[in-house]
Amino acid sequence: MGRHLLVEIFNCSHDILNDEERIREILIETANVSGTTILSISLKKFEPQGVSGVVVIAESHISIHTWPEYRYAACDIFTCGDKVWPEKGAEHLIKELKAGNSSVVEVKRGIINVNNQNLKHKP
C-alpha cells in the first residue's frame, strides 16, 4: 500500500537544522519534488535548539526531527500510490540539509496477502 523511507542525515549544517523557517521551506520543497499534495504543515522550534515538523500529505506524511548539536536529522517520507517519488524527496532533503553522509532505508508498508483468509475483512 505504501513506501516508507527512513532517512538518516548526518554532518548537516548546524544553522539550517536550527532554522524553523528554512526547515519549513525544505519540507514544502520535499513534498513538491516528491509529487505529493500538501494538506497541512506543523512545526515546533525547541529551546535551546532543534526543530520538529510534519507535513501531512494526501499520500501520508513527511516528517523531520533535528539535533543541531549533533548535526543530525531523522526524517520519514511515507507515501502511498504509484504516482509519487519519495526517493526524489529524500535526495532533496539530503542536499538541502548539506549532509556529509546519509542513509535511506525503504520499508514496504501494507503488504497484505489477500489469499490468506485470516487477513480478509469479515462483516
**Per-residue pLDDT reduced to its tens digit, 6-15:** 999 999 999 9
pLDDT at 91: 97
In the chain, domain spans? 2-109
List, as own/partner pairs, every contact residues 24-30 make where C-beta atoms lie below 8 angstroms and the sequence separation is at least 24, other chains included. 24/53, 26/64, 26/92, 26/93, 26/96, 26/97, 27/53, 27/55, 27/62, 27/64, 28/55, 29/92, 29/96, 30/55, 30/62, 30/77, 30/89, 30/92, 30/93, 30/96
What are the cell numbers at 32?
513538491
| Catalytic, out of 13, 14, 61, 80 | 80
65 carries an active-site annotation: yes
pLDDT tens for each residue of 46-86 = 999 999 999 999 999 999 999 999 999 999 999 998 899 99
Q: By the 8 A CB rule, do 67 and 16 touch?
A: no
pLDDT at 27: 98
| Catalytic, out of 4, 12, 60, 75 | 60
Mean per-residue pLDDT over the chain, rounded: 92
If you ran DSSP here, which 8-state letter would residue 21 be given?
Answer: H
CATH 3.60.90.10 fits 2-109, yes or no: yes
61 carries an active-site annotation: no
Region 37-44 average pLDDT: 98
pLDDT at 117: 52
pLDDT of 118 above 70: no
3-state secondary structure of 76: strand
pLDDT at 101: 97
pLDDT of 97 above 70: yes
Q: Where in the chain does DSSP place strands (E)? A: 2-10, 38-45, 51-57, 60-67, 72-80, 101-109
80 carries an active-site annotation: yes
pLDDT at 111: 77
